[in-house]
Amino acid sequence: MEPYEFNQCHKAFSHHNSLQMHKRTQTEEKPCECNQCDKAFSQPHTFQLHKITYTGEKPYACNQCGKAFAENSTLQKHKRIHTGEKPYECHQCGKAFARHSHLQYHKRTHTGEKPYECNQCRKAFTQHSALKRHERTHTGEKPYECHQCGKALTRHCNLQRHKRTHTGEKPHEYNQCHKAFARHSHLQSYKRSHI
C-alpha cells in the first residue's frame, strides 16, 4: 500500500515528494517564481527549464552533429534523425513517426479533425502551432529576428535556416557520399536524382 494519499482525490503515492507535486497540480499552487518575468511554476523542474530561456544554457550535445539542447529528452528525440528510428506507428495506415506528437497530428488526417480555428477568418487547423503561424498572416507579426543582420521572419524554422547563410552550416548530409546541404529539401532532391 502506498502511504501518502491526497485527501481531495484519494490518489496515493509511495513518496512524499510525489504527493506534494500532485497537490500543486490540483491546487494550482505555483511556489517557484521567476525574478526575470511574471511567470510562476508549480514544479521545480519546469522552473529550471524556464530559467534556461534566459541563460541560453544547452548542456546536452549530440555526439553525431554537435547540436545542443536544454533538455536531455529533447536530445534523445533529436538522435532519431540520425538513427532513422520511428517508434510511433499509425494503426490505420502503418506510417511511422519519430515523435509521438507527430503521430497524433497525423491521426487527424484520418479523422478530419481540425480543433484549432482562426477567430478572424474561421480557417481551421490540425495543430495549434499551425494556427499561430496562420494568425501572423493577419497581424503581419514577424517575431523571429536574426541578431546578425536584423532580418525578421514569421517562423522559427525559417530563422534557423536563414542563420545558415551567415554560418555556412550544412547539417543535412547524404550518408552514401557525405555531400552536405543547408536545407533538408535540397538533400531530398539530391537523393531523388541519385536513385
| Residue scoring higher pLDDT (6 or 88) | 88
Contacts of 162 (CB under 8 A, 6+ apart): 146, 151, 153
Task: Please give the domain boundaries of the chain with CATH numbers for all domains.
Answer: 4-55 (3.30.160.60), 60-111 (3.30.160.60), 142-188 (3.30.160.60)
- Between CA 47 and CA 119 the distance in angstroms is 32
Q: What is the pLDDT of residue 8?
A: 67
Helix (H) or strand (E) holding 12: strand 12-13
Averaged pLDDT, 15-32: 69
Q: What is the pLDDT of residue 144?
A: 92
Q: What is the pLDDT of residue 136?
A: 93
Let me know how many helices (H) and strands (E) the chain has, helices first: 7, 14
What average pLDDT is seen over the chain?
86
Burial label, 1 (beta-carbon count in 10 A; 0-12, 13-18, 19+) = exposed
Q: What is the pLDDT of residue 25?
A: 66
Residue 183 — very low, low, confident or very high, per pLDDT cuts 50/70/90?
confident
Model-level pTM? 0.48
Q: What is the pLDDT of residue 1?
A: 55
- Between CA 104 and CA 97 the distance in angstroms is 10
